[in-house]
Structure 1
């Protein structure tokens, strides 16, 4: 299971681009992130993969917790 709890991403230390994103995905589940351009789909995935600095970050992959 992959879970995100209350993720926030801030660009340039001033621009809040994601706030309070939470998500839980079970093993074997398929997920779609629908939304318009600029809705935060890629930003969310980049935060999951650790490519962006996040605030209030709690990402869990099974028993492993990334903060």
Structure 2
């Protein structure tokens, strides 16, 4: 059950990240990006990308560790 919840959360995080990238790519965003909320949106998007990379990397390591060291 925990694996399903984790997969759902990772899927949701990818969807939110993709949507944030779409919003940040819209014409005229440069004006908004100069504001404090705009800078926050950029930082949150970047941080979410980093968290996703870490979570996926950790997931791969967990799967690999289930098989034990190679002989």
Task: Normalising by structure 2, report the TM-score.
Answer: 0.28
- Structure with the largest fraction of strand: 1
Q: Larger relative CO (CA 8 A, sep 6+): 1 or 2?
A: 1
- Structure with the largest fraction of helix: 2
